[in-house]
Structure 1
Amino acid sequence: MPKGKNCWYLLYCKAREEERAVQHLQNQGIESFYPVKSVEKIRKGVKSVKQEPLFPNYLFVNLDPETANFNAIRSTRGVASFVRFGITYTKVNDSIISHLQSKLADTDKSIDDSELPKIGDNVVINEGTYKGLEAIFKASHGLERSILLIKLIEQQAELTIDNKNFKLK
């Protein structure tokens, strides 16, 4: 199968069966992309990191439109159907898939505790509403957030913020 002729198509999957569909597509030798993100959950006071779909019920498949058996793919376990506009299957631009893959690879690189500032260190918030504001690192809060002390109207207030959204001053 020459790579130059392949296109990415959008598939709609049965509820919570995206991973089953990916597995069965891989068994058929079909390249698929199922973007997931890590989400911190707290249940009964216990923190855990779960993988959740970026686009629930959807995944992407890379196919040669001239040789692919669209009926067999549509009949794959976990797959409901191709997303279509009329009779035309929805194609997704390669650059969008590449962008998603690179963004997800970047976000999977979480910051470990050794990279965080020490308690009392001055930091600068580099994203969001408080961008440019100086703060004091107070504590790590979960796997991906920290508590900072910011000065608002001559009083210090706590702010919980993603670790990637501030840096050492």
Structure 2
Amino acid sequence: MSEAKWYVVHTYSGYENKVKANIDKTIENRHLEDQILEVRVPLEEVTELRNGVEKAVQRKMFPGYVMIHMIMNDDTWYVVRNTRGVTGFVGPGSKPVPLDESEMENLGINKEDVIMDLAVGDVVTVLSGAWEGTVGAVQTINEQKKSLTINVELFGRETPVELGFSEVKKMD
């Protein structure tokens, strides 16, 4: 089996978070956690001036694109390519081309990049995605995948949701 690489997927504009949520759900349903490791919508913090007040906001670095850390094979290609909102992989023709090391450094994607000082039981706020603004206690932490699980209330019951370290912020 080949090693996981970062690929870029083109989406309909404004659908980035929806595509991320759909792929995350498909990974869970088809048990592809060991093949599709991470789905990211890169965000940057910018300061906007509104009504004379400076406010820090999260803005998409690459509108219309989602980054996926995955092992490319027929199954993973099919799952990603046939996700609603995805128009295709970035690359010539139908052949997805992974990002190389220099491109990943320029984009700030380094595995050592995300270091979390979180423990099970800590309370976090979700910064992006379908659960943006949700507050929850950390249930599990997966250092290898750089992810954690929190419980959110869905239809009146607690449901576990897996999130990347970059998607959450520890509450003070």
CA distance in 2, matches of 1:89, 1:32: 16
Preserved contact between residue 12 and residue 58 of structure 1 (Cα < 8 Å): yes
Question: 1:88: which partner in 2?
Answer: 95
CA distance in 2, matches of 1:33, 1:94: 17
Q: CA deviation at 1:77?
A: 2.9
Preserved contact between residue 17 and residue 78 of structure 1 (Cα < 8 Å): yes
Question: 1:79: which partner in 2?
Answer: 86
Alignment of structure 1 residues 37-48 onto 2, 5 Å: 37-48=44-55
Question: 2:62: which partner in 1?
Answer: 55
CA distance in 1, matches of 2:73, 2:19: 22
Runs (4+) of structure 1 exceeding 4 A deviation are none
Give the gaps of 5 or more residues in structure 1: 107-169
Preserved contact between residue 40 and residue 49 of structure 1 (Cα < 8 Å): yes
Give the gaps of 5 or more residues in structure 2: 28-35, 115-172
Alignment of structure 1 residues 1-169 onto 2, 5 Å: 5-29=3-27, 30=36, 31-94=38-101, 96-97=103-104, 100-102=108-110
Question: 1:139: which partner in 2?
Answer: none
TM-score normalised per structure 1: 0.51
1:99-119 CA distance string (max 9 Å, x none): 6135xx69xxxxxxxxxxxxx
Secondary structure, counterpart of 1:49 in structure 2: strand
TM-score normalised per structure 2: 0.50
Secondary structure, counterpart of 1:85 in structure 2: coil
CA distance in 2, matches of 1:7, 1:67: 15
- Counting aligned pairs with the same residue, the percent is 23
Q: What is the number of residues matched between the two proteins? A: 103
Measured at CA, do residues 66 and 74 of structure 1 come closer, stay the same or move farther in structure 2, by a change above 3 Å? Answer: closer
Measured at CA, do residues 95 and 68 of structure 1 come closer, stay the same or move farther in structure 2, by a change above 3 Å? Answer: farther
Secondary structure, counterpart of 1:92 in structure 2: coil
Preserved contact between residue 11 and residue 64 of structure 2 (Cα < 8 Å): yes
Q: CA deviation at 1:95?
A: 5.5
